[in-house]
Amino acid sequence: MSTTPMSAEPAAAYRDDKRHWWWLPLFVALSPVLGVYLAATTGQKLWLWITPILWYVALPVADWLVGRDTRNPPDAAVPSLESDRYYKFLVYASIPLFYVTWIVGAWAVATQDYGWAGYLGVSLSVALTNGLALVVGHEVGHKTGRFEKRLAQIVLAVPAYGHFSAEHNRGHHKDVATPDDPASSRFGESLYAFVLREIPGALGRAWRDEKVRLARSGKGPWSLSNELLQSFAITAVLYGSALALLGPVIIPFLLISTFWGWQFLSTSNYIEHYGLLRQKLPDGRFERCRPEHSWNADHIVSNLMLYHLQRHSDHHARPTRCYQALRSDKAPELPSGYPLCFTLTYFPPLWRAVMDKRVLAVYGGDITRVNIQPSKREQILARYGAGRQTATGV
């Protein structure tokens, strides 16, 4: 069922064109530090906004200019691509950078005289690198080795989201594109409603699943073996020492960088499965997750920054596959890469104007097969032409 590349390229001759471009996220991870440095040396405080400008302005333009890429490595080349340690090394190397950036950001807002606009710029810059730390935590947290799962706990401590691995791997991947998954958004649900449903829902599910896992070993949830608490402890040490050393002046920085970092994750989740639904089988289980249950965006530049996260359907088909080997699938396509989609979601009517017709197209116009926001169900069914009799259906 995998889509074959255009031609049967011999595996031996295969060269990964993106190989050296995978350094890009490391640069992005350090960009707030660069901004602080350039603001100090040039006196131009706009540099403090470097990362938001990169994400919200430069990347959408770059995506538009460079375009999409649907080429895949030939199947025969995938094993050697996956076992190449260079790619792993790049991901590992990014992890300390998120700590460096966070610490420099906290130090800068506490000690430099930026005014509120500069302070906000640094906080939002670190928020976005916190978002990228979540993407890295996602990549390593999916790997099967204990060592990589430990690294995930360490990197996820920076954005204070240590429950992500448990929530995502055991929760979201199991329940994706079903009505009860707090990390799959519904047709007609605004980003704001989704964030308020997802963030508490994700924490609750992660905690429950971890409790079940620990109970099988005869342990309670408040145990040193609780992997959520292990990561939260690192966060407490990091945030606590920064507060003690730098003082309450960093409180707004902590709040903005943490919550806007969480927003980065939630918004990604919002656009990744919007409205898509796995149908229920006669035996009561949901059909297996297939490519059409994820939105893809094959835009080259934003994919380089996000470790191919936008090749999302292949990720759900094979969650343990390494980023460099993820394939372009025959899956529903977003109108642009994530950076521009983020801005669309901030304006719900704009997002729905662009996306609702795309969701309907996936289901051949059949609104009853869509994952609909329950509170708007009647209204949406009426609007898209389904009769009242189906309104009470499952």
Partner 1 sequence: MARYRCPGCGYEYDEQKGDEHEGFKPGTLWSEVPEDWACADCAVRDKADFVKVDGLLA
Note the residues at the interface with partner 1 (CB under 8 A).
Answer: 144, 146, 169-170, 173-174, 213-217, 285, 288-289, 316-320
* Buried/exposed code over 142-158 (b: 16+ C-beta within 10 A; e: otherwise): bbeeeebbebbbbbbbb
Q: Compute the least distance from the CB of residue 322 to partner 1, in Å.
A: 13
Q: Longest Cα pair distance anywhere in the chain, in angstroms?
A: 68
| Closest to partner 1 by CB, 15 or 285 | 285
Q: Compute the least distance from the CB of residue 197 to partner 1, in Å.
A: 21
Q: Compute the least distance from the CB of residue 174 to partner 1, in Å.
A: 5
Q: Compute the least distance from the CB of residue 170 to partner 1, in Å.
A: 5
For the record, the structure tokens of 202 come out as 């994700």
**3-state secondary structure at position 274:** coil
Are 5 and 72 in contact by the 8 Å Cβ rule? The answer is yes
**3-state secondary structure at position 296:** strand
| Closest to partner 1 by CB, 174 or 330 | 174
| Closest to partner 1 by CB, 20 or 146 | 146
Q: Compute the least distance from the CB of residue 226 to partner 1, in Å.
A: 12
| Closest to partner 1 by CB, 20 or 288 | 288
How far apart are alpha carbons 94 and 135 in whole angstroms? 11
| Closest to partner 1 by CB, 215 or 353 | 215
- Rounded to 5 degrees, φ, ψ at 218 are 75, 20
Are 363 and 349 in contact by the 8 Å Cβ rule? The answer is no
Are 352 and 275 in contact by the 8 Å Cβ rule? The answer is no
Are 366 and 344 in contact by the 8 Å Cβ rule? The answer is no
| Closest to partner 1 by CB, 41 or 217 | 217
Find the Cα–Cα–Cα–Cα dihedral 295, 331, 351, 166, rounded to 10°. -10
H-helix or E-strand containing 265? helix 251-272
Q: Compute the least distance from the CB of residue 117 to partner 1, in Å.
A: 44
The closest of 199, 206, 341 to 262, measured between CA atoms, is 199
Q: Compute the least distance from the CB of residue 80 to partner 1, in Å.
A: 18
How far apart are alpha carbons 374 and 188 in whole angstroms? 9
For 9-15, which contacts have Cβ atoms below 8 Å and span 24 or more sequence positions?
9/74, 9/77, 10/74, 10/76, 11/74, 11/75, 11/76, 11/77, 11/80, 14/73, 14/74, 14/77, 14/81
Using alpha carbons only, what angle is made at residue 32 by residues 61 and 259, rounded to the nearest 5 degrees? 90
Between the CA of residue 35 and those of 47, 107, 113, 124, 212, what are the distances in Å? 5, 13, 14, 12, 45
| Closest to partner 1 by CB, 100 or 214 | 214
Q: Compute the least distance from the CB of residue 2 to partner 1, in Å.
A: 13
Q: Compute the least distance from the CB of residue 84 to partner 1, in Å.
A: 20
| Closest to partner 1 by CB, 214 or 354 | 214
| Closest to partner 1 by CB, 281 or 361 | 281
Q: Compute the least distance from the CB of residue 169 to partner 1, in Å.
A: 6
| Closest to partner 1 by CB, 150 or 358 | 150
